[in-house]
């Protein structure tokens, strides 16, 4: 029997509930496919601040690096909102991404046929559905640039800077081209090259790499236009590649047109595919501990882990199709229910497990 060591970063808010759901699904699917998982929890975010006085203790980094793969819930909450930037829970997320070298963030946004009515777009716009893979750069750009306070023209000012090296752009663009090659062979590179120097280098680098991928159709799109195109005609997109911050923003937008941000999983990867898997949504402190959060994004993140980290294709597909079935049968958590009867986090998890 194969055994995989999984590090668990439950984090804050709804993080613990949704991670526990995904763990139960992994255990169930493991039984069916003869895979054993061991789960070791590590503290991160506000939970780590409360216990250790820092958001990303060294033991957490060491534990994650020693794991075969890592599953993360979410970090942050009002309790820690007034801490200095370096002590905030969110800093831990950036820290673990950097420490594990997770420069690639894959965020698939597809419309489940059963959720067509939950999509806020007009029926004729999503008639043919959509299936987008957002490839977000995750360890560079303005998230990691120089920042601080200084005296400016109008007195004290704050600043953040964006920097991208050719190497960073090339390695994420390569992942995107390879991804497009395995899908619809269409790549949209999103930037703000009409204003930003980093975007101009981004564009130039993507164009140079395109020569190596003649089978992939590549086009550029400005980020403001992309935000508009995502709601005007999402089915035009296959693979999107973009910077850390643009990817953060566009993936929230893409998630909402799938019906709910509670649906979107993600895989954060380094050169090896072990990586860290997390829902794209946050810690939702307003609904934490109420057993109402949608666990699907985290459960689908676990499915991505099985596929990317462990090459367990059948087990992964079994989870995805169980989610599909539950949604087709009409079960909805509160975020998707639009006022109709909703089932709880635990009930949704049970339904998915029953259909594995
Ligand atoms: C995400 C989150 C994080 C990000 C925050 C919590 C730092 O919004 O994973 O999308 O901006 O990357
Ligand atoms: Mn985000």
Average pLDDT, the chain: 97
Query: Is the pLDDT at 116 greater than 80, yes or no?
Result: yes
Domain count, the chain: 2
- What is the pLDDT confidence band of residue 273, given thresholds at 50, 70 and 90? confident
Using the atom order of ligand 1, give the atom closest to the CA of residue 76: 6
* Sign of the CA dihedral with 241 first, then 312, 299, and 309 last: negative
Name 135's Cβ contacts closer than 8 Å, sequence gap at least 6.
104, 105, 106, 107, 172, 175, 176, 179, 239, 240, 241, 242, 247
**Structural domain range at position 215:** 120-257
Query: Is the pLDDT at 244 greater than 80, yes or no?
Result: yes
| Phi, psi angles (nearest 5°) of residue 230 | -60, -30
Q: Are residues 291 and 246 in the same domain?
A: no
Q: Is residue 23 part of a domain?
A: yes
19 Cβ closer than 6 Å to some ligand 1 atom? no
- Reference 293, options 329, 258, 332, 323; nearest CA is 332
Q: What is the pLDDT of residues 153-175, one digit of tens each?
A: 999 999 999 999 999 999 999 99
180 Cβ closer than 6 Å to some ligand 1 atom? no
- Tell me, what CATH number does 326's domain have? 3.40.718.10
CB neighbourhood size of 58 (10 A): 10
Q: Are residues 88 and 127 in the same domain?
A: no
284 Cβ closer than 6 Å to some ligand 1 atom? no
Q: Are residues 130 and 218 in the same domain?
A: yes
Q: What is the pLDDT of residues 318-346, one digit of tens each?
A: 999 999 999 999 999 999 998 889 999 99
Query: Is the pLDDT at 220 greater than 90, yes or no?
Result: yes
Q: Are residues 267 and 253 in the same domain?
A: no
pLDDT at 291: 98
Q: What is the pLDDT of residues 14-27, one digit of tens each?
A: 999 999 999 999 99
Q: Is residue 5 part of a domain?
A: yes
Q: Of all protein residues, whose CA lies closest to atom 4 belonging to ligand 1?
A: 248
Q: What is the pLDDT of residues 48-86, one digit of tens each?
A: 999 999 999 999 999 999 999 999 999 999 999 999 988
What average pLDDT does range 275-287 have in this prediction?
97
Q: Of all protein residues, whose CA lies closest to atom 11 belonging to ligand 1?
A: 248
Q: Are residues 18 and 125 in the same domain?
A: no
């Amino acid at each position: 029997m194969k055994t995989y060591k999984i590090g668990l970063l439950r984090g804050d808010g709804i993080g613990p509930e949704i991670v526990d759901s995904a763990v139960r699904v992994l255990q169930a699917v493991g039984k069916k496919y003869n895979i054993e998982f061991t789960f070791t929890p590590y503290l991160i975010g506000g939970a780590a601040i409360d216990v250790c006085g820092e958001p990303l203790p060294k033991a957490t980094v060491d534990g994650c690096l020693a794991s075969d793969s890592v599953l993360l819930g979410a970090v942050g909450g009002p309790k820690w909102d007034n801490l200095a930037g370096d002590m905030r829970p969110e800093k831990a997320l950036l820290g673990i991404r950097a420490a594990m070298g997770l420069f690639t963030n894959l965020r698939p946004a597809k419309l489940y046929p059963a959720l067509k009515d939950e999509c806020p777009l007009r029926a004729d716009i999503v008639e043919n559905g959509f299936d987008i893979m957002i490839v977000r750069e995750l360890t560079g750009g303005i998230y990691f640039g120089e920042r601080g306070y200084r005296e400016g023209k109008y007195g004290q000012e704050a600043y953040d800077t964006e920097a991208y090296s050719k190497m960073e752009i090339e390695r994420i663009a390569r992942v995107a081209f390879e991804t497009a090659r395995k899908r619809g062979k269409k790549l949209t590179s999103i930037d703000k090259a009409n204003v930003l120097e980093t975007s101009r280098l981004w564009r130039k680098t993507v164009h140079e790499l395109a020569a190596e991928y003649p089978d992939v159709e590549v086009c550029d799109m400005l980020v403001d236009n992309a935000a508009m195109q995502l709601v005007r005609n999402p089915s035009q997109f296959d693979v999107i590649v973009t910077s850390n911050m643009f990817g953060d923003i566009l993936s929230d937008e893409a998630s909402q047109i799938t019906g709910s941000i509670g649906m979107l999983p993600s895989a954060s990867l380094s050169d090896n595919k072990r990586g860290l898997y997390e829902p794209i949504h946050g810690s939702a402190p307003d609904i934490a501990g109420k057993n109402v959060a949608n666990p699907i994004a985290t459960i689908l993140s676990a499915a991505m882990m099985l596929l990317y980290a462990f090459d367990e294709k059948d087990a992964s597909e079994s989870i995805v199709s169980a989610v599909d079935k539950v949604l087709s049968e009409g079960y909805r958590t509160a975020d998707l229910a639009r006022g109709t009867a909703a089932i709880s986090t635990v009930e949704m998890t049970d339904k998915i497990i029953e259909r594995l």
